């Protein structure tokens, strides 16, 4: 088991949640992950990381799988222009590699925003610290664990 996945499991268990990790195989898109999980594409919680142009800090936008982040809305929420976060910043802030950024278990606290669409489901699925693993979680638990601001930032 990877160190990244182990951090996710520890974070879930520390919160009193069961860490039910599922292998994705070769699934690389939200649609493919949804097919593996047997759920609606919007039940896949994508972790999109941007870099603050002024602060240089990584910011996490958790969005429903079928949605896209609107850069203008996201920047307005963040209070600064946002740009693409490079792999080094993502790894340094979260401890995860691109494609496997989990919403929990980060190395350092991260400012986070949550797409309200995710709150419409009983269960959603998120990356488990690797590009090939996901876990189910109740949206309310994800909201609580991440401390994310519930906000509309999608197209």
Supply the pTM of this predicted model: 0.96
Phi-psi sector, 49: left (phi>0), alpha (psi -120 to 50), beta: beta
- pLDDT, residue 120, reads 98
The predicted structure's pLDDT at residue 26: 82
pLDDT tens by residue, 119-133: 999 999 999 999 999
pLDDT at 27: 86
Of 30, 29, 27, the residue nearest 40 (C-alpha): 30
Separation in Å, CA 136 to CA 12, 14, 44, 72, 146: 11, 16, 9, 30, 15
pLDDT in tens, 103-122: 999 999 999 999 999 999 99
User: For position 133, what pLDDT does the model report?
Assistant: 96
The topology (CATH level 3) of 3-150 is YbaK protein (3.90.960)
Q: What is the pLDDT of residue 28?
A: 87
- CA–CA distance, 98 with 101 (Å, rounded to integer): 6
The tens place of each residue's pLDDT in the chain, 155 residues long, gives 999 999 999 999 999 999 999 999 888 899 999 999 999 999 999 999 999 999 999 999 999 999 999 999 999 999 999 999 999 999 999 999 999 999 999 999 999 999 999 999 999 999 999 999 999 999 999 999 999 999 999 99
């Amino acid at each position: 088991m990877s160190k990244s996945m182990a951090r996710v499991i520890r974070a879930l268990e520390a919160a009193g949640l069961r860490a039910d990790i599922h292998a994705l195989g070769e699934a690389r898109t939200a649609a493919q992950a949804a097919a593996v999980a047997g759920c609606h594409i919007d039940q896949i919680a994508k972790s999109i990381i941007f870099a603050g142009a002024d602060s240089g800090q990584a910011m996490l936008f958790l969005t429903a799988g079928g949605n896209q982040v609107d850069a203008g809305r996201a920047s307005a929420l963040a209070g600064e222009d946002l740009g693409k976060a490079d792999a080094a910043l993502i790894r340094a802030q979260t401890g995860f590699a691109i494609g496997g950024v989990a919403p929990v278990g980060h190395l350092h606290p991260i400012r986070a925003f949550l797409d309200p669409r995710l709150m419409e489901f009983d269960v959603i699925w998120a990356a488990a610290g690797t590009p090939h693993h996901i876990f189910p979680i109740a949206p309310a638990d994800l909201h609580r664990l991440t401390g994310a601001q519930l906000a509309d930032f999608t197209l």
